[in-house]
């Protein structure tokens, strides 16, 4: 009898009805309710421990067989993208109903190339997500699942963990409050760069962020996304040595900020504090966590007196003791992780992110990070600064090269590590989809499919535009930290190399060819008047045209000043300031590009008056002077600058006006004091810590486009 049952089980089909796809079904109800009644999910047995999905049409239904919920979500997205020409993104959705439903003529089976498809940088949690509420996270996690993310950093909600840890190690409530940052700065706190800035965080906010993370982790589980939580790597308050006789290494400064100290992992006290940290993590967020992130001595720091080999082993040992089987995730950035730090670790329980793959190949020069599992990632932007950018050919080529080269046994997947994710959606779509391709991807063909899904249908003018975009903004202009920058947003001077300290003004592409692409794209407007994604992109492409034009106008202004030609200088200055006004009108034509949208998000994320006030203060600091109040260390201003309606004229244009008045005095031979931009920027933040009434009516997008392009 038992033998007969065994034989019968062997004869069952590989796909059986599944009850563990409820999370994906609910996702479909939220995003594509018109499709839900025609969706059928089945469980599919994994082969060779790989994830896979299968699509077919059967009796008017769309059958999605998958190895798990994450693969099922990707299968749903595959059908939406390649059959329905529908898509979801951070810059607009194209998810309107399709009828009749497209038929899948032949069964499609897709196997994952990547074991891990990772998402998010610590910085994303501030440049994009500082003020996310549950509705925002629900949408974010749906996008993550549809795009196959199965491993995601969770870097908010640590305030409650640290509060409990420090209470148990003898810190007062005031000392704890001084350590925890404000809501827009927790990324650099958790990376061991700063303490306290933007705080104190109200207790009500600490509590609500804890609850939010608990909801996030629950939803992630339903969608097959594993959380990566901050681990304990020795970071403690800079004055931790006042509470212990253990070896505490002060870390000096990060810019003008006092860095947290490092409790020497080789000291016996390390395991005790790590134990408290992991106990509190487990109490708040559960024991079913496999991945922890943490990088000691990130972007500098002092290692004197530290045995790095023993430190790495101790950090990993504590992690494993409290979460058996845990994997330590480290950033491959600059010389991080140091070779010595990895020397005595169990490499099989590590995962290194090749953080900046669009420019680096540390995975190769370091021989697969000295035979350590790694994933290939791109950053794509810094500070969520605006600009069109993405090395599409390199993404496709490098991922395939890493997956098939001499270190392929250590290459475990792909990842997106944007410092801010509200830009260049094509980059994130491509990199994450590469995790499901086992053969080389031809980007030209891929883009044609992407464009149809983004705008809903094929169009010759849009196809022409995107071919030109692939040759310009989405090409490979050499080493660059994020997109080329916009001189309109620079702190005024006559010699300007960049807007932010590590950026570049130089456009590494043919700007005239790019304009032709934008003109072709704009010509399709009569056919795409109701497309949200088309409008958002048309504004963005046109915004870049204005930014590029500003370089030429500024060059003429500088020449006129040096030649002491007052008439020519005044004409150039007027033209330059008019570009601010033109850009402001363009950006105000859609709520996506307005300063007030960001301000309202910050306010709505606050549950109390104190939270709302501090949220808005954090928000306005971050996008202007960033945070330092030391004139000698004022190099983070404009690191997270934004091109938003309402900001182009009240901040950037006004600042340039002050400077031009100063230069006119010089040309006229009148002695005057240079503008104090350091003080002026801080005053602007104070004046904008309330949402101002929006200007109505908003300008006509069509009129602005015509003025810029024709």
List, in order, residues 6 or more apart from 113 with CB less than 8 Å away.
403, 434, 435, 436, 437, 438
**Whole-number pLDDT of residue 56:** 98
* Buried/exposed 554-571: b ≥16 CB within 10 Å, e otherwise: bebbeebbeeeeeeebee
**Whole-number pLDDT of residue 480:** 85
Mean pLDDT computed over 535-562: 98
pLDDT band at 10 (very low <50, low <70, confident <90, very high): very low
In which order are the strands placed within the sheet that holds 235-236? 235-236, 261-263, 248-249
User: Of 539, 492, 494, which is closest to residue 651 (Cα–Cα)?
Assistant: 492
Is 70 exceeded by the pLDDT of residue 7? no
Mean pLDDT computed over 460-488: 94
Mean pLDDT computed over 109-133: 98
**Whole-number pLDDT of residue 666:** 97
**What does the alpha-carbon distance between residue 440 and residue 479 come to, in Å, rounded to a whole number?**
24
Is 90 exceeded by the pLDDT of residue 598? yes
Selected from 3.30.420.270, 3.30.379.10, 3.20.20.100, 3.40.50.300, the CATH number assigned to the domain covering 10-111 reads 3.30.379.10
User: Of 202, 209, 208, which is closest to residue 613 (Cα–Cα)?
Assistant: 202
In this structure, the number of other CB atoms found within 10 A of the CB of residue 521 comes to 26
Mean pLDDT computed over 10-33: 72
**Whole-number pLDDT of residue 19:** 59
Please give the residue that has the higher pLDDT: either 632 or 473. Answer: 473
**Whole-number pLDDT of residue 502:** 94
Instruction: Give CATH for domain 470-709.
Output: 1.20.120.670
DSSP 8-state assignment for residue 565: -
Q: What is the mean pLDDT of the chain?
A: 94
Please give the residue that has the higher pLDDT: either 227 or 298. Answer: 227
Summarised one tens digit per residue, pLDDT across range 643-653 is 999 999 999 99
Structure tokens at 136: 């925002």
Is 90 exceeded by the pLDDT of residue 9? no
**Whole-number pLDDT of residue 15:** 37
Is 70 exceeded by the pLDDT of residue 120? yes
Q: Find residue 248's DSSP bridge partners.
A: 263
Is 70 exceeded by the pLDDT of residue 6? no
Summarised one tens digit per residue, pLDDT across range 40-98 is 999 998 877 689 999 999 999 999 999 999 999 999 999 999 999 999 999 999 999 99
Mean pLDDT computed over 422-429: 98
**What does the alpha-carbon distance between residue 419 and residue 482 come to, in Å, rounded to a whole number?**
10
Phi/psi for 703 (5° steps) reads -65, -40
Is 70 exceeded by the pLDDT of residue 3? no
In which order are the strands placed within the sheet that holds 108-111? 15-17, 39-44, 61-66, 52-58, 108-111
Mean pLDDT computed over 621-648: 95
**What does the alpha-carbon distance between residue 501 and residue 489 come to, in Å, rounded to a whole number?**
13
**Whole-number pLDDT of residue 695:** 66
**What does the alpha-carbon distance between residue 120 and residue 2 come to, in Å, rounded to a whole number?**
50
Is 50 exceeded by the pLDDT of residue 184? yes
Residue 152's H or E segment, with its range, is strand 151-153
**What does the alpha-carbon distance between residue 443 and residue 33 come to, in Å, rounded to a whole number?**
31
- 10-111 shares its CATH topology with 470-709: no
Which range is least confidently modeled, 13-22, 166-175, 420-429?
13-22
What is the dihedral sign for C-alpha 620, 625, 631, 636? positive
**Whole-number pLDDT of residue 540:** 98
Q: What percent of the chain has pLDDT over 70?
A: 97
Is 70 exceeded by the pLDDT of residue 431? yes
pLDDT band at 17 (very low <50, low <70, confident <90, very high): very low
Q: Find residue 327's DSSP bridge partners.
A: 291
pLDDT band at 11 (very low <50, low <70, confident <90, very high): very low
**What does the alpha-carbon distance between residue 352 and residue 333 come to, in Å, rounded to a whole number?**
10
Mean pLDDT computed over 362-388: 97
**For 277, how many CA atoms within 13 A lie in the half-sphere containing its CB?**
22
Three-state secondary structure of 351-420: EEEECCCCCCCHHHHCHHHHHCCEEEEECCCCCCCCCCCCCHHHHHHHHHHHHHCCCCCCEEEEEECCCC
* The CATH fold of domain 116-458: TIM Barrel (3.20.20)
User: Long-range CB contacts (< 8 A, 24+ apart) of 654-657?
Assistant: 654/684, 655/491, 655/492, 655/680, 655/681, 656/488, 656/492, 656/576, 656/577, 656/580, 657/577
**Whole-number pLDDT of residue 478:** 81
Structure tokens at 548: 């590029």
Summarised one tens digit per residue, pLDDT across range 237-283 is 999 999 999 999 999 999 999 999 999 999 999 999 999 999 999 99
The domain spans of the chain are 10-111, 116-458, 470-709
Structure tokens at 198: 């933007």
């Amino acid at each position: 009898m038992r033998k007969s049952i065994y034989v019968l089980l062997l004869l069952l089909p590989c796909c059986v009805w599944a009850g563990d796809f409820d999370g994906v079904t609910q996702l479909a109800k939220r995003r594509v309710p018109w499709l839900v009644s025609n969706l059928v999910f089945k469980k599919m047995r994994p082969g060779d421990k790989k994830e896979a999905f299968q699509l077919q049409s059967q009796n008017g239904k769309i059958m999605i067989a998958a190895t798990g919920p994450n693969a099922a979500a990707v299968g749903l997205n595959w059908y939406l993208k390649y059959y329905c020409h529908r898509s979801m993104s951070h810059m607009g959705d194209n998810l309107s109903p399709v009828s009749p439903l497209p038929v899948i003529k032949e069964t499609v089976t897709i196997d994952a190339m990547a074991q891990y498809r990772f998402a998010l940088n610590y910085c994303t949690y501030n440049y994009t997500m500082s003020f996310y509420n549950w509705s925002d996270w629900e949408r974010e996690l749906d996008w993550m699942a549809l795009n196959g993310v199965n491993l995601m950093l969770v870097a908010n909600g640590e305030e409650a963990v640290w509060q409990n840890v420090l209470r148990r190690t003898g810190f007062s409530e005031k000392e704890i409050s001084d350590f925890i940052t404000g809501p827009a700065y927790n990324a650099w706190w958790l990376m061991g760069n700063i303490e306290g800035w933007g705080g104190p965080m109200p207790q009500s906010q600490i509590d609500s962020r804890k609850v939010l993370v608990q909801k996030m982790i629950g939803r992630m589980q339903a969608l097959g996304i594993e959380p990566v939580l901050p681990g304990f790597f020795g970071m403690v308050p800079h004055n931790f040595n006042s509470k212990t006789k253990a070896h505490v290494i002060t870390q000096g400064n990060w810019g003008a900020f006092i860095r947290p100290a490092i409790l020497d992992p080789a000291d016996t006290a390390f395991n005790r504090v790590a134990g408290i940290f992991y106990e509190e993590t487990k109490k708040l967020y559960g024991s079913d966590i496999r991945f922890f992130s943490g990088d000691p001595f990130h972007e500098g720091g002092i290692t004197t007196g530290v045995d790095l080999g023993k430190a790495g082993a101790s950090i990993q040992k504590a992690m494993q003791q409290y979460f058996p089987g845990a994997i330590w995730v480290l950033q491959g950035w600059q010389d991080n992780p140091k070779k010595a730090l990895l020397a005595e670790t169990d490499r099989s329980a590590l995962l290194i992110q090749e953080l900046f793959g669009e420019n680096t190949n540390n995975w190769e020069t370091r021989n697969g990070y000295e035979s350590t599992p790694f994933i290939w990632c791109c950053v794509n932007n810094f500070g969520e600064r605006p600009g069109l950018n993405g090395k599409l050919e390199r993404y496709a080529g490098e991922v395939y090269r890493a997956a098939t080269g001499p270190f392929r046994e250590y290459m475990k997947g792909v990842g997106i590590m944007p410092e801010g994710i509200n830009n260049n959606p094509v980059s994130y779509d491509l990199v994450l989809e590469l995790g499901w391709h086992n053969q080389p991807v031809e980007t030209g063909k891929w883009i044609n499919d992407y464009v149809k899904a983004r705008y809903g249908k094929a169009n010759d003018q849009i196809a022409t535009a995107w071919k030109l975009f692939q040759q310009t903004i989405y090409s490979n202009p050499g080493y660059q930290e994020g997109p080329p920058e916009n001189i309109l947003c620079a702190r005024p001077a006559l010699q300007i190399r960049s807007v932010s300290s590590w950026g570049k003004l130089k456009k590494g592409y043919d700007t005239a060819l790019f304009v032709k692409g934008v003109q072709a794209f704009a010509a399709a407007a009569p056919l795409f008047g109701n497309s949200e994604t088309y409008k958002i992109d048309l504004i963005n492409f046109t915004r870049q045209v204005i930014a590029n034009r500003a370089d030429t106008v500024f060059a003429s202004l500088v020449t006129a000043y040096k030649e002491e030609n007052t008439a020519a200088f005044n004409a150039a200055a007027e033209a330059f300031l008019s570009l601010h006004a033109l850009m402001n009108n363009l950006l105000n034509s859609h709520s996506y590009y307005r300063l007030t949208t960001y301000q309202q998000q910050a306010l709505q994320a606050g549950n109390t008056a104190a939270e709302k006030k501090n949220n808005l203060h954090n928000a306005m600091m971050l996008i202007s002077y960033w945070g330092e109040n030391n004139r000698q260390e004022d190099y983070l201003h404009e690191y997270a600058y934004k091109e938003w309606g309402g900001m182009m004229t009240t901040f950037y244009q006004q600042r340039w006006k002050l400077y031009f008045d100063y230069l006119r005095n010089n040309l006229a031979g009148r002695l005057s004091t240079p503008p104090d931009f350091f003080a002026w920027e801080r005053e602007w933040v104070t004046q904008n810590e309330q949402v101002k009434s929006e200007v109505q009516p908003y300008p006509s997008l069509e009129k602005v486009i015509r003025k810029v392009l024709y």
